[in-house]
Structure 1
Amino acid sequence: MFEIIMYLFESYMQIDQSTEIDAQEITDELLEEGFQKNDISKALAWLDNLTSLHEQNPESKTQLAKETSHRIYSAAEQHRISCDGQGFISYLNQADILNTHTQEVVIDCVMSLDVDELTLSDLKWLILMVLFNDPNSEDAFMQLESMLLDFEDGLIH
């Protein structure tokens, strides 16, 4: 399922977000690429869930955290998100790339994936997708995208 989400993100990232994309066309394209219909349905449902998470009022789910607060992960979250992943999320929060709401959206999205554990690399892409799909996180998206591309190019020391 995550492979499908990544494929869609890479394929449709350059398309204007206001452009309507037909789910049946996407499904047909993914079937042609060799993905299974059940996995496609799960991936599209995951993307719909991501959209609905962004539409929620941040205060309806979480209170704004103080700068000195620290997110405690549940046992299930700790199993799914490695220590490195938790540290990366914390770093992005401290760097003001993630706020309390987007951090919770990221964690919800990780927990709704059909995987046992997400690699740090996959988590970085997932966070990029979350920020890309949030109209209020354009600057944060550009910061993280730049950071990840610089890291891949070996520019971060």
Structure 2
Amino acid sequence: MFEIIMYLFESYIQVDQTMELDTQEVTDELMQEGFQKSDITKALAWLDHLANMHNQDPQSKTTPEQKTSHRIYNKQEQMQISVDSRNYISYLEQAKILNTYTRELVIDCIMSLDSKELTLEDVKWLILMVLFNSPSSESEFLQLESMLMDFEEGLIH
């Protein structure tokens, strides 16, 4: 399912976010690419969930974070999110690319994938998708995108 999400993200990243895509047309395109209909349905539902997450609980977006707070992952999260991925999420918080709200969106998105096979690279791209879909995180999206692209091209800051 994650491969489908990545395919759609890469294919439609330049598309205007407000544009409605025809679900049947996208499904047909993905089936032509060799993806299974059940995986396509799950991926589209996951993307719909991601899009709708930004409409939930607007109060939590403005809750100020405490400098002394620390995120504790429950057992299920620890099993599904690797130590490297949890450390990377923490690093992005320290770098002010993620805030407490977007961090929780990322964790929710990872958990909703229900996959124990996500690599750190997969998580980096998932974080990029979360920021891309967050109307208030444009500068953070651009900063992370730049970091990921520089790393892929061999430039490490």
Q: 1:138 to 1:21 in 2, by over 3 A?
A: same
For residues 83-94 of structure 1, the aligned pairs below 5 Å read 83-94=83-94
Q: Indicate if the aligned counterparts of 2:81 and 2:116 stay in contact, CA closer than 8 A.
A: no
Query: Is 1:77 aligned to 2:77, yes or no?
Result: yes
Letter in 2 for 1:28: D
1:5-154 superposed matches below 5 A: 5-60=5-60, 63-154=63-154
Separation in structure 2 between the aligned mates of residue 95 and residue 61 of structure 1, nearest angstrom: 18
Structure 2 residues not aligned, in runs of 5+: none
Q: Is the 8 A contact 1:79 1:117 kept in 2?
A: no
The one-letter code matched in structure 1 to 2:29 is E
Partners of 1:111 and 1:133 lie apart in 2 by: 17
The alpha carbon displacement at 1:63 in A equals: 4.8
Aligned residues: 157
- In structure 2, give the amino acid aligned to 1:20: E
Give how far 1:59 is off. Answer: 3.2
- SS at structure 2 position matched to 1:55: coil
* Deviation string, structure 1 residues 12-55 (Cα, Å, up to 9, x no partner): 00111122211111011001111111000000000111111111
Q: Distance in 2 between matches of 1:52 and 1:45?
A: 10
Tell me the distance in 2 between the aligned counterparts of 1:23 and 1:116: 27
Deviations 1:75-102 (A, max 9, x none): 1111111111001000111111111111
Q: CA RMSD in A?
A: 1.6
Sequence identity percentage: 68
Q: Structure 1, unaligned stretches of length 5 or more? A: none
Asked if structure 2 preserves the Cα contact closer than 8 Å seen for 1:58 and 1:101, the reply is: no
**Structure 1 residue runs of 4 or more that deviate by more than 3 Å after TM superposition:** 58-64
Mean CA deviation greater in 114-123 or 40-49: 114-123
Question: What is the one-letter code of the residue matched to 1:66?
Answer: Q
